[in-house]
Structure 1
Amino acid sequence: MISVAPADVRNRQADLIATAQREPVVITSRGAGRRAVVVSPEFCDRALQALEDQADIRAAAAARQETERIYHEDLAAEVGH
């Protein structure tokens, strides 16, 4: 992962976008630390999918803890079948 100052982003935009295809590029500023991270679209897609998967895993775990029974007929009526 490389770090650059905001002024360098303007001067090296094409190079930084190319670098972001291989590794995250951190944009930093004095006093504020990390301001942004530039990543490839593929990295972003994988990260979002991983977050969605984790949310699904947590929801499934919570559903397994429920003790209320849902009957097939009730569910079918609720979804319109």
Structure 2
Amino acid sequence: MSQFRNQQSDYIAAAQREPIEISSRGAGRRAVVVSPEFYDRALQALEDQADVRAAADARKEPQSPFEDLMEKIGL
């Protein structure tokens, strides 16, 4: 952590190429610095994965359009 504080700009520049792990003595890994592009791609991948799971779950429970409508209006 102290090395990161002293050389912050170097670590941020390196994170543009690959994720950089920040550790602390005795505490192990404390943080990971990544580029904004990496972060955006990771978030998008998580969102895509959640959408895939939701679609798979929806396909597991077949429901007719009528049943779906009745459920939505609370009948």
TM-score, normalised via structure 1 length: 0.78
Distance apart, 1:16 and its partner CA: 0.6
Match of 2:9 among 3, 9, 14: 14
Return structure 1 stretches of 4+ with deviation > 3 angstroms.
none
Q: Does 1:51 align with 2:46?
A: yes
Unaligned runs of 5+ in 2: none
Unaligned runs of 5+ in 1: 1-5
Residue type at the aligned position of 2:41: R
Residue type at the aligned position of 1:36: A
Distance apart, 1:30 and its partner CA: 1.7
Q: Pick which of 45-54 and 60-69 moved more.
A: 60-69
> Equivalent residues in 2 for 1:1-81 (5 A)?
6-71=1-66, 74=69
Q: Percent identity?
A: 68
Q: Deviations over 1:23-71 (max 9, x none)?
A: 1110001221110000000000000000001000000000001122124
